[in-house]
Structure 1
Amino acid sequence: MIVCRSKTRLTEATNAFKDNSVPQNRDTGKMDSKAAGMNPYVGLVSSLRDAWLAGKMRTVEQRVSQLEALGRFLDDKKQPILDAVASDMRKPPFEAELSEIILVRNEVNHVLNNLSSWMKDEFVDKNLVTQLDTAFIRKEPYGVVLIIGPWNYPLHLILIPLVGAIAAGNCVLIKPSEISSSTETLVAEVLPTYLDRDCFAVVTGGPEETSQLLENKFDYIFFTGSPRVGKIVMAAAAKHLTPLTLELGGKNPCYVADECDLQNVANRLVWGRCFNAGQTCLAPDYVLCSMEMQEKLLPALRRAITDFFGPNPQESPDFARIISDREFQRIRALLGSGRVAIGGQTDERERYVAPTVLVDVQPSEPAMQEEIFGPILPIVTVGNVDEAIAFINSRERPLAVYVFTSNNKLVHRVLERTSSGGFGGNDAMMQMMLVSLPFGGIGNSGLGLYHGKFSFDTFSHHRACLLRNMGLEAMNALRYPPYTERKMGLVLSTSRIKRSGSCTLL
């Protein structure tokens, strides 16, 4: 694995995507005067493509060896991983181990358990004219993949796509987030010692480096981040007609019905909203409920916060911090929406924002206009479930929709009448625990799927293959000119698909 490092630490911004950098040597990351004026990553991308064209990741043995090496990285470097994410955002060890290590390790093991069967050719049904032929789908790697990761789960959201890209047989260039700088350093300095240096590379830096990377032609791009930057990535991919997956998040609504187990709802809402200090794309972003339910829910939410984090959450070892000063300022400004009913305390020095519940929030206020990405939960009152559904459907489609109720029919009613990347009934975020479920958004919340076999399929080109015999030309002659009605009848009889169970009335 090659590492290209940069000392640039730029914040994510659209206007930073400019071509104004001096090229670097792909092995050392140093400036290369001979390559001045060229894109600094041309050589790196070219070397990865050479490895892919040479077939280095084609065999199941090579893919398994790299997945096992990734597993060893997670096992060997558990403590450095925990230390890195603690340094970046004071993430509690429990949350860090669960999200950054255990879930990734599960993904690795699941793929290792199933990879051989996934890689096999998939034989398909044939019609009469192709009965003597061989028809199948071959799962082939795209080639050279670019994975651009975010800062909120800085290892998880790089490594889980990487597992799928390796499983599918691709060579990969990894771009971790510069904002989670400690984890970025760990990925750049330690991960390369485990993976094949010919097939995998890490590039560090900010938007300037990302912009330069995107000028190169990749065979697939996987991006996790905001919709705003996702549009930039998609525009760059379009210049090369590069397929991509976008994981973008959004404002996830949570409808709480009048019929529910109140304290259980509060516990699950607080856990989902406050895990990683709310810096989670799947977190419940706002609550929709009746005014009566709001009054009942507030004491239960207050109790859950106290039970989880004590009377002063700032002193709790189980509550993370906001990633950066910029994010802290943005989140603190959202406290001006509506009225603070619970929490609201902040500490700029620690980048601490208390678990907070806002009430009397209007749909036009800032807290309802952007993804919160912090430990703040607005409540918007609605008259009934139909009004809640209409509210959800009036907005961009979210990454997840949640509903809490003891009425199973109501759960399915919300499921059937809304659209989102995923759905949770009577809990928040737990769908991501299953490798058997796809993870992905829809519309403004993303494009494409991954996790488990969905990752393998995402990073694989499904190649349609038909192998025919050189003989039997008399059968093929039916399709050759000159065309006749008799030929058309014979072609239809051997190739037409009839609807099952259909019949003709005479």
Structure 2
Amino acid sequence: MPSTSIESAAVDGRARTPRFIQRQLANLHKAITTNAKIIQDAIVADTGAKLREAQLEIHLSISVVKELYDNFSVEEALSQEYRVARGQDWCDRNDAVGTIYLRPQSHNLVYSIVSPLANAIAAGNCVVIESNKPHQALSSKIAEIILQHLDRDTIAFVENLPEPPSKGVLLIDQTGEIPKINASSVHTPGSSARVVALVDRSSDIVSAASSIVQARTAFGGNSVYAPDIVLVNEFAMKEFVQAAKIALSISIEETKGQDITASQATCKIAGIGLTEKELRGSGANVVMRGDLGTIAIVEDRGSSLLQRKIYGACLILHSVRSLDDGIDLANLQYGTVAPRNKTLLACYHFGAPEAAKYTTQFIDSYASFVNHAPIELTVGPAAPIGFHPSATHRYRPAMFSVPKADCIAGDSASRSLASIFRAEAKAWSDVYEKQITSSLAPTRQKAGKVVGFFDQGLITGFVVFWVPVIASAVVGSGYGIRAGIRMTRS
């Protein structure tokens, strides 16, 4: 443990008491709201984010804390705590893990710390947070503000997380590295996990282009949910490119007068800046390039740009012939088909609901978003593996707790079964015989009237091949009969 105070607090359970949880959430909310300007300036100075992007990150951080506070009821928590004392079951009880070790990612550091911290507090845990070295100044400022408002016996910031014990500690690792430790952990998909956007010709092309450009260019293109490749139906490619150019131009107009030098420098530090020469060398045709983003079309499916994670505000487009072609390409390059065998982090599907139903079913991704790319996804870490992802919140209190059911009452069916099982042999034999001879309710499935796949193939083959043959035979017979009649008359 990083300190005896954290260890003591985890043992005595002070962080689990309902009133303490309520106060901590209120203090965390106060810490962010009263220091919003300081945090905002620190984000802009240390990361190069635009002012509005920094404000979005703070807005979402406050939303997480506020929602947890509003949904937490001291009265309900106390009522649940005494359910067993009242002779009631508490079968859905969740207990705090004890201590949470948090290793935040560098992107959107404020949200990446506040979101899991607030949920860990709501679940009744102590929290130890590792300082972020790429953004040391911002990390130190966040630590200073949080420790001024929260109980220092239950919250700590350390230079490096210690080796966690095998029990009582949960590691939250947002870096995508699978920890090689014995302790329990919640980790995100690897840093190479990709995101695909699929644009069908049935979609609203202008709306799709606007959403995709925003997702790709927000925060300098550093969001983990920015689309790495956009697969566009070949018949809609020209219209999509034009709409994407307009969307990027609007973004440039909106940022006129703002200092974007810092943002560009940040991109270069992260190894993001793809030059036009590098793009062309990878088989890309650059159709637009500006200070805030690049649009490039890749025609060669062997290009390295279709095989890698894309960073920076660079929108990579590739045409597909059909929905099936898009599905095959998405899964081949990024999904379940060899050689990569990796599930997509997310897939944005743009098209008619019927088309989206088909593509969401067969493209392997942790999350699918139809006809929109939520702006909330541009902020924060990837959603943890093993839980249903949400666009608005990456974490929930249940992720920071352990199921521990308390059962006292039992149900009537269980008591009846136990009574019969202990009764004389004939009573149990009758019940058992009835169970093994019982039948299930009918499925009530109606007789199928839809033509199947193979049936359709036979019908198509008949129409294509035999109908012309029969028609030719009939026409030929007609000519033959008429010729025979003329010969007979002559």
State whether TM-score is above 0.5: yes
Partner Cα distance (2:440, 2:148) in 1: 57
1:404: which partner in 2? 350
Task: Give how far 1:326 is off.
Answer: 4.1
Task: Give how far 1:419 is off.
Answer: 3.0
1:198: which partner in 2? 153
Q: Match for 2:398: what amino acid? A: D
Q: Write out per-residue CA displacement over residues 148-167 of structure 1, whole angstroms, 9 at most, x where no aligned residue.
A: 11111111111111111000
Percent of aligned positions that are identical: 20
2:92 aligns with one of 110, 118, 137: 137
Q: Check conservation: 2:200, 2:232, Cα contact below 8 A.
A: yes
Aligned residue for 1:159, secondary structure, equals helix
1:422 aligned onto 2:372? no
1:309: which partner in 2? 252
2:326: which partner in 1? 388
Partner Cα distance (1:495, 1:114) in 2: 45
> Segments of 4+ in structure 1 off by > 6 A?
473-480, 490-496
Q: Write out per-residue CA displacement over residues 350-369 of structure 1, whole angstroms, 9 at most, x where no aligned residue.
A: xxx74012212544433323
Q: Check conservation: 2:194, 2:228, Cα contact below 8 A.
A: yes
Alignment CA distance shift 1:267-1:416 (3 Å): same
Alignment CA distance shift 1:61-1:215 (3 Å): closer
Aligned residue for 2:156, secondary structure, equals strand
1:106: which partner in 2? 63
Q: Check conservation: 2:225, 2:378, Cα contact below 8 A.
A: no
Q: Match for 1:84: what amino acid? A: A
2:449: which partner in 1? none
Aligned residue for 2:404, secondary structure, equals strand
Q: Write out per-residue CA displacement over residues 39-79 of structure 1, whole angstroms, 9 at most, x where no aligned residue.
A: xxx442x5323202112111111111111111111111111
Aligned residue for 1:465, secondary structure, equals coil
Q: Check conservation: 2:107, 2:222, Cα contact below 8 A.
A: yes
Aligned residue for 1:373, secondary structure, equals coil
1:186 aligned onto 2:141? yes
Partner Cα distance (1:489, 1:431) in 2: 60
2:295: which partner in 1? 357
Partner Cα distance (2:109, 2:173) in 1: 13
1:273 aligned onto 2:205? no
Task: Give how far 1:194 is off.
Answer: 1.1
Alignment CA distance shift 1:278-1:490 (3 Å): farther
1:255 aligned onto 2:201? no
1:291 aligned onto 2:234? yes
Task: Give how far 1:499 is off.
Answer: 9.3
Alignment RMSD = 3.9
1:77 aligned onto 2:35? yes
Partner Cα distance (2:29, 2:296) in 1: 42
1:157 aligned onto 2:112? yes
TM, length-normalised to structure 2: 0.74
2:188: which partner in 1? 246
1:321: which partner in 2? 264
1:171 aligns with one of 126, 143, 156: 126
Aligned residue-pair number:
420
1:460 aligned onto 2:406? no
1:221: which partner in 2? 171
Please show how residues 427-438 of structure 1 align to structure 2 within 5 Å.
427-430=372-375, 432=377
Q: Check conservation: 1:400, 1:421, Cα contact below 8 A.
A: yes
Please show how residues 31-70 of structure 1 align to structure 2 within 5 Å.
42-44=1-3, 46-70=4-28
Q: Write out per-residue CA displacement over residues 212-251 of structure 1, whole angstroms, 9 at most, x where no aligned residue.
A: 445786621111123xxx12x2x22xx23x1424254621
Q: Write out per-residue CA displacement over residues 77-130 of structure 1, whole angstroms, 9 at most, x where no aligned residue.
A: 1111111111122211111111x2111111111111112288564999xxxxxx
Partner Cα distance (1:390, 1:303) in 2: 30
Q: Write out per-residue CA displacement over residues 366-395 of structure 1, whole angstroms, 9 at most, x where no aligned residue.
A: 332332131111112211111111222232
Q: Check conservation: 1:314, 1:354, Cα contact below 8 A.
A: no
Partner Cα distance (1:108, 1:330) in 2: 35
Aligned residue for 1:287, secondary structure, equals strand
Structure 1: 5+ residue stretches without partners: 1-41, 125-131, 346-352
Task: Give how far 1:318 is off.
Answer: 7.0
Q: Match for 1:78: what amino acid? A: A
Partner Cα distance (1:259, 1:111) in 2: 40
Aligned residue for 2:215, secondary structure, equals helix
Partner Cα distance (2:20, 2:189) in 1: 28
Aligned residue for 1:179, secondary structure, equals coil
Aligned residue for 2:49, secondary structure, equals coil
Please show how residues 361-376 of structure 1 align to structure 2 within 5 Å.
361-376=299-314
Partner Cα distance (1:329, 1:59) in 2: 46
1:342 aligned onto 2:280? no
Q: Match for 2:29: what amino acid? A: G
Q: Check conservation: 1:122, 1:136, Cα contact below 8 A.
A: no
Q: Write out per-residue CA displacement over residues 424-446 of structure 1, whole angstroms, 9 at most, x where no aligned residue.
A: 11221346499xxx97255xxx7
Task: Give how far 1:452 is off.
Answer: 5.6
Partner Cα distance (2:426, 2:259) in 1: 81
Aligned residue for 2:266, secondary structure, equals coil
TM, length-normalised to structure 1: 0.72
